[in-house]
Amino acid sequence: MYDYLIIGAGSAGCCVAHFLHQEGKSVAIVDREGIAGGASGAAGAFLSPLPGKKNLYNSLVNDALNFSIDFYKNLLPNIVEKKGVLRIPNNNFNKDKLAQSYIKYSYYDTQKLKNISKNFMDIDGYFYENAAVIEPTEISKKLIENCDFYKKDIKKLDFKDGIYNIDEIKAKNIILAQGVSTSLVEIPYMKISPIFGLRIDVKTTTKIPFNIHKSISVSTNKQDGTVSIGATHERHDNAILECLTTCDKCPFYVNSEQGQIETLLKQAQELIKLEDLKVVKIYKGARATIKSYFPVIGKVIDYEKSLEKYPSIKNGTKIPPDSLEYFENLYIINALGSRGFVFGPYLAKILTQNILHNTPIPKEISTQKLFYKTARAKAN
Ligand SMILES: Cc1cc2nc3c(=O)[nH]c(=O)nc-3n(C[C@H](O)[C@H](O)[C@H](O)COP(=O)(O)OP(=O)(O)OC[C@H]3O[C@@H](n4cnc5c(N)ncnc54)[C@H](O)[C@@H]3O)c2cc1C
């Protein structure tokens, strides 16, 4: 009998497992693909600030970044390459937006970049010191080294007499950390969109002094001698493409993988000339995002039962969160978007503190915020 069973051994699930274990809880974690077998194993995994004028979302990202870089450095110092990131203006972040950033930066013009490395193309950009790249699978394994791991595909949740019985594993509480996979309970207020992407690890004789980010990311040279190039762009309606199996069987990649590889490599070469380039490994994955871009953590609300009990919520009546109906002993952490390794430790810490010590979850990342929004939107 475990105190907690976590479904999904990606960044989200492994981080929660780690913090629960640190608080003395017995923890098991399951994943049908193995540890970091979903989006997490495919991630770059770049840890970068989000520039721009200060707002709720970039404050959350940048607070999480500060916390997570320190956290990883304490956990596994050898796998954190903290050399900063050069951000090149693009359609989303033009020069004005980057120049007005509340995050401290240094502007590097083309000549300065060419003085650093003759391989830089004719680009200029904004340099942020507090950025790193890590090795996602090693981190995930380290996070759960003291927890029991089971490779299992969980089909349903059975809850009886205060205990979850999941394929002979018994647990008092469940944490759903399923990424893009179909949720094991109905959560109509949380519509996850998978966004597909690719990471290519290459070998090159070019020395890359720091990470470079435009619409794709190119890492500095990592300790294993590789450079990661990655991007996630392709949004799909999950009614059309459901993530049920490994990416190798996914029609999306089968039809477009080669084209995506060529595009990524071409985009990387437009930033820095990569000499003696050899592709070593290709990773595929889909990350989970919701419309607001904010991640979501907390107790799982039973949507139907809550609205049955308080139909006037649909018309805007304010019902205190504690009065809503919840699935018993069931929590979620999901929608980490393109920043799963930035958010993972930070959100897992907040969620763990909430579960064990009842500390509040910031409203913008709570399940309640999404619930009220959806209930009211559906009524209008
Ligand atoms: C190509 C690519 C590049 C990326 N680059 C970066 C980056 O540079 N920096 C960054 O911070 N983030 C990056 N991301 C995003 C990041 O990978 C995700 O945000 C993060 O991995 C999400 O973690 P997760 O634990 O929520 O989901 P996942 O890692 O997808 O984990 C969910 C797991 O749940 C398992 N699962 C689901 N349902 C069940 C079930 N019923 N039974 C058993 N197991 C189940 C799945 O097998 C899966 O392993 C990238 C993503 C991709 C795809």
Tokens in use for 129? 């010191």
CB distance 338 to 271 below 8 Å: no
pLDDT band, residue 284 (cuts 50/70/90): confident
Helix (H) or strand (E) holding 65: helix 56-75
What are the pLDDT digits (tens) for 46-83?
Answer: 999 999 999 999 999 999 999 999 999 999 999 999 99
136 CB under 6 A from ligand 1? Answer: no
Identify the CA nearest to 178 among candidates 362, 9, 64, 331.
9
154 CB under 6 A from ligand 1? Answer: yes
Task: Supply the pLDDT for residue 259.
Answer: 82
21 CB under 6 A from ligand 1? Answer: no
Task: Supply the pLDDT for residue 257.
Answer: 76
CB distance 121 to 246 below 8 Å: no
What are the pLDDT digits (tens) for 224-253?
Answer: 999 999 987 666 555 555 555 566 666 666
Tokens in use for 259? 């084209």
Task: Supply the pLDDT for residue 248.
Answer: 65
Identify the CA nearest to 340 among candidates 85, 14, 7.
14
Q: How far is the CA of 40 from the centre of ligand 1 (A)?
A: 4
Q: How far is the CA of 181 from the centre of ligand 1 (A)?
A: 10
Q: Is the pLDDT of residue 110 over 60?
A: yes
Q: Is the pLDDT of residue 254 over 90?
A: no
CB distance 208 to 219 below 8 Å: yes
3 state SS for 78-112 = HHCECCCEEECCCCCCCHHHHHCCCCCCEEECHHH
Q: How far is the CA of 45 from the centre of ligand 1 (A)?
A: 11
Domains and CATH numbers, the chain: 2-38+138-191+291-379 (3.50.50.60), 47-132+193-284 (3.30.9.10)
Strand residue runs (E) in 177-245: 193-203, 211-213, 217-218, 227-235
Strand residue runs (E) in 142-292: 148-150, 159-160, 163-166, 169-176, 193-203, 211-213, 217-218, 227-235, 278-289
Tokens in use for 377? 């939107």
Ligand 1 atom at shortest distance from the alpha carbon of 341: 11
Question: Which amino acid residue places its CA nearest to atom 15 of ligand 1?
Answer: 338
Ligand 1 atom at shortest distance from the alpha carbon of 228: 8
125 CB under 6 A from ligand 1? Answer: no
Ligand 1 atom at shortest distance from the alpha carbon of 217: 8
Q: How far is the CA of 178 from the centre of ligand 1 (A)?
A: 8
What are the pLDDT digits (tens) for 129-185?
Answer: 999 999 999 999 999 999 999 999 999 999 999 999 998 999 999 999 999 998 999
